[in-house]
Amino acid sequence: MSTVAEIEAALPSLSAEELARVEATLHRVQRERGMDAPQGETDIRLDGSPWPKTPQEIAVLLAELDALPAVLTPEEAHRFEEWRVSEKERQKALSGKSGQTIGQIFA
């Protein structure tokens, strides 16, 4: 089996973090080899296809993305939003106390 085939076979089993590391490595190797996209040209997607350029291509891509299933159920989304609001308030309170503490250090 060739190295490329081995890499392609391993990709589906990688986590999102591992895929991001692979992508970053590919970009680094391309830069090192002087294979960056020419000025004004867009980069290629992880699957090797180019990013859409025309309004029609963009509309097709957006339709595909819109057709993807929801990541969260409505109940999960509601719980997440409640948590997000309360966490934001908690972080604001922490930052206020932190600012007071820092202010006392330099007073």
pLDDT digits (tens, 9 = 90+) for 64-98: 999 999 899 999 999 999 999 999 999 888 887 77
Burial of 22 per CB tally in 10 Å (0-12, 13-18, 19+): middle
The Cα 89–Cα 86 span in angstroms is 5
Specify the pLDDT at position 92.
86
Give 37's pLDDT tier (boundaries 50, 70, 90). low
CB 10 within 8 A of CB 18: no
Q: For residues 9-29, give the mean pLDDT.
A: 87
Amino acid code (one letter) for 7: I
pTM comes to 0.38
Specify the pLDDT at position 41.
54
Residue numbers of the domain that contains 101:
3-105
Specify the pLDDT at position 36.
60
Count of the separate structural domains present in the chain: 1
pLDDT per residue as tens digits for the range 38-60: 555 556 787 778 888 899 999 99
